[in-house]
Every structure is written in C-alpha cells, then in structure tokens.
C-alpha cells in the first residue's frame, strides 16, 4: 500500500510549480496563496512541496532534495514550522472552528523554530466558518515575519470574498492521462489505465481508488445494473437496501451508484461514436457491460439516463427522501433500458 498523506512528489502541474519555485527563490511569493483545483489532485502535497523547496538545505533548490533534515521532516509531516490546519476533530460538523483560528494566531506569535520561511497550510480552506475566517483576515493580510499561508480548496467560491481578495489564486489542473498512467505504473498500481481514467487525472484520488474504492465502485455498479434487470418488486427492495442506515452511509452508496451510471453512460457514448481511444473505458474491468449498455440505449436513451442522474443528484442536494429519489431513478433508467435489460442480466456477474 502506498502512503498517500505525506507525499511531495505527485506528477503534473510542473509549470505551476516551477513558477512558484521561481517566485520563492526571488523572494516574491505572495504571503497568502490560494491553491485551487479538482479534489484528489494533491494540492496540499504541492503546498508541502513548496515549503520544502524554500527550506531545503540545498541553497537555491528548484525542487526538494528529499534528503536534508528539513525535506525529510516535511515529507514525514512533522516539521515544526510547517503547520497544517484541518477539520476540527472536536466538532460533529466538518468545519475549521474559531478556536482553531485563535490557537493558530497565538502560535504564530512565536518566531519560527528552524525554517527560513514558516508555512501554514489550511486544508480544506472552505471549511473555515465565518467566525474562523474573520478572526484570520488580518493575519492573512499581514502575516508575521517569515510566515506564508497556503489555503487549499476545490471549491474557491465557497470561501468568503473577503478571504479570497486577500489571496493570490494558483490554479492546479488534472494530470494528462498518459503522464498519470506512467506514474501509476511506477507506483506499482496493477491497472494504471483504468485507475487513471477513474481518477479523472487526479493522482491522490488515483492512489485511493487503487486501495479499494475502485473495487467498491465496480461492485456497486454491478449490483445496480443487476437490480435494474429484475421485476419491479425486487428493484424496489434494492433501493430499500441502498438507502438504509444513517445519512452519511446511504449518501455514499447512492453517490457511488450515480457515479457508476455516469461512467457507464460516458463509456457507452464513446463506444457509439467510435471514440474509445487510448484513454480506455471507465468500466474497463467489464468492457462488455458498456457495449451492452450502448446497445440497449441509443444516443437518445443515454441522454435521458444522464438527465435522470442529474435530477437524482439535485434531489440529493435538496434532501429529498432517499427512497423516493432512488425509486424514481431506477424507474427512469429501467424504462429507458426496456427490453435491453434481458441482455444486461447476462453480462453482469451475480452477487
Ligand atoms: Zn532538502
């Protein structure tokens, strides 16, 4: 199993990092950076990477040497001057609290222990509630000497405008599939093509997928498709089993099913249009399923299923009753599949 938490060396976004290293070496780095980009990209790792570049024992380094005391401590996550602020473990809600903000401000009153430049990484920065963000505004604007902030988020618009305006935005993008595939192969991932595709070009996400989520997703997809091929009564008992338990648990199960439908649809569209290409299918573990899905639904049917998924996601956000939401979805998809359900039943492995 690959350790994902403290990596410094995710692939991709080399241009962005080179620019940051350059600014750092010329001492022109903005005191409060906002790292934004899709979830699972390794943005917090890029913040640690930047902290390592600046504090590396190799003077003028463009990348962490990964051997000096400072680089090692940062990679291990225990450098005294690289402070990470995450969700408040004492709160039920997923927030960064005003207490954390105040603790941070008082710890910044002390001089850095060792570093040329102390770093504070706030991740996910959008979890700062109003009170926490307001408490930190002045510090973001005028950080203590030798201290820089990196705010990390995949939803920058969720930050207060007053926070955003005090930052310099740095945009990270998904990694190109061939680059990610090669990197995943180096990491010993068994099926780099499929994992790269499923991760949408996000390396940290790809490693997580490799560690189990991909299997869970494929199982959820198969169970869903199988349920769609059964009589109405069994279909509804599937949606009942999907939506049992507490909200967090069933939300994850329902989202997995929605993701699976999206992936099947996108694969089927590429098959229909003859554009599978070298990036491969999302459902590469069971390619005949995507073929069968494409045959059962023509382009029009695929569009309708995609619409049903959009409606279900919106319902999920609006706290619509879970059973109702899944029943509606199943009905809509089964109607589109029509007689194609018979062929699907033969493709999907049972249980
Ligand atoms: Zn170093």
| pLDDT tens string 40-50 | 999 999 999 99
Task: Enumerate domains of the chain plus CATH numbers.
Answer: 14-173 (3.40.50.300), 191-347 (no CATH)
Span from the CA of 59 to the centroid of ligand 1 (angstroms)? 9
| 102-115 mean pLDDT | 90
Could you tell me which of 310, 261, 251 has the C-alpha nearest to residue 283? 261
Span from the CA of 83 to the centroid of ligand 1 (angstroms)? 18
CB 208 within 8 A of CB 44: no
Mean pLDDT of the chain: 90
Phi/psi for 306 (5° steps) reads: -60, -40
| 24-33 mean pLDDT | 93
> What would the pLDDT profile of 166-203 be if each residue is shown by its tens digit?
999 999 999 999 999 999 999 889 889 989 999 999 99
Span from the CA of 134 to the centroid of ligand 1 (angstroms)? 35
CB 294 within 8 A of CB 301: no
d(CA 169, CA 164): 8
Span from the CA of 51 to the centroid of ligand 1 (angstroms)? 10
Span from the CA of 36 to the centroid of ligand 1 (angstroms)? 26
305-327 as b/e: b if 16+ CB within 10 A = bbebbeebbebbeeeeebeebbb
pLDDT class for 351, splitting at 50, 70, 90? low
Whether the pTM exceeds 0.85: the reply is: no
Report how far Cα 56 is from the mean position of its chain's Cα atoms: 29
d(CA 339, CA 149): 58
Tokens 């498709």 label which residue?
A: 225
| 315-327 mean pLDDT | 87
First to last CA, the chain: 27
Per-residue confidence (pLDDT) for residue 262, from 0 to 100: 93
Per-residue confidence (pLDDT) for residue 64, from 0 to 100: 92
Per-residue confidence (pLDDT) for residue 92, from 0 to 100: 72
pLDDT class for 319, splitting at 50, 70, 90? confident
CB 337 within 8 A of CB 296: yes
Span from the CA of 25 to the centroid of ligand 1 (angstroms)? 14
Residue 98: pLDDT over 50: yes
């Amino acid at each position: 199993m690959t350790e994902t938490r403290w990596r410094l060396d995710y692939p991709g976004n080399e241009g962005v990092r080179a620019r940051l290293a350059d600014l750092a070496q010329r001492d022109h780095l903005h005191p409060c950076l906002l790292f934004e980009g899709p979830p699972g990209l390794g943005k917090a790792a890029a913040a640690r990477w930047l902290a390592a570049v600046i504090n590396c024992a190799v003077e003028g380094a463009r990348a962490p040497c990964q051997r000096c005391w400072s680089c090692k401590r940062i990679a291990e996550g225990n450098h005294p001057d690289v402070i990470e602020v995450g969700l408040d473990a004492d709160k039920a809600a997923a927030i960064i609290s005003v207490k954390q903000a105040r603790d941070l401000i008082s710890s910044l009153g002390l001089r850095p222990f060792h570093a040329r430049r102390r770093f504070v990484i706030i991740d996910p920065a959008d979890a700062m509630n109003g009170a926490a963000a307001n408490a930190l505004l002045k510090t973001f604007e005028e950080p203590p000497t030798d201290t820089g902030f990196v705010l990390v988020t995949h939803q920058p618009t969720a930050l207060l405008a007053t926070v955003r305006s005090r930052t310099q935005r740095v945009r990270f993008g998904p990694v190109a599939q061939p680059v990610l595939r090669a990197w995943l192969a180096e990491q010993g991932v068994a099926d780099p093509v499929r994992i790269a595709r499923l991760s949408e070009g996000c390396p940290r996400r790809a490693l997580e997928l490799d560690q189990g989520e991909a299997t869970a997703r494929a199982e959820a997809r198969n169970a869903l498709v199988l349920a769609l091929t059964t009589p109405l009564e069994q279909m509804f008992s599937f949606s009942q089993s999907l939506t049992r338990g507490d909200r967090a648990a069933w939300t994850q199960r329902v989202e997995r099913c929605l993701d699976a439908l999206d992936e099947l649809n996108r694969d089927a569209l590429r098959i229909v249009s003859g554009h599978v290409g070298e990036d491969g299918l999302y459902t590469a573990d069971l390619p005949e399923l995507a073929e069968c899905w494409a045959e059962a639904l023509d382009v029009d049917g695929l569009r309708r299923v995609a619409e049903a998924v959009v409606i279900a996601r919106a319902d999920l956000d609006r706290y619509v009753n879970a059973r109702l939401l899944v029943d509606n979805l199943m009905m809509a998809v089964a109607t589109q599949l029509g007689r194609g359900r018979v062929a699907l039943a033969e493709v999907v492995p049972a249980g």
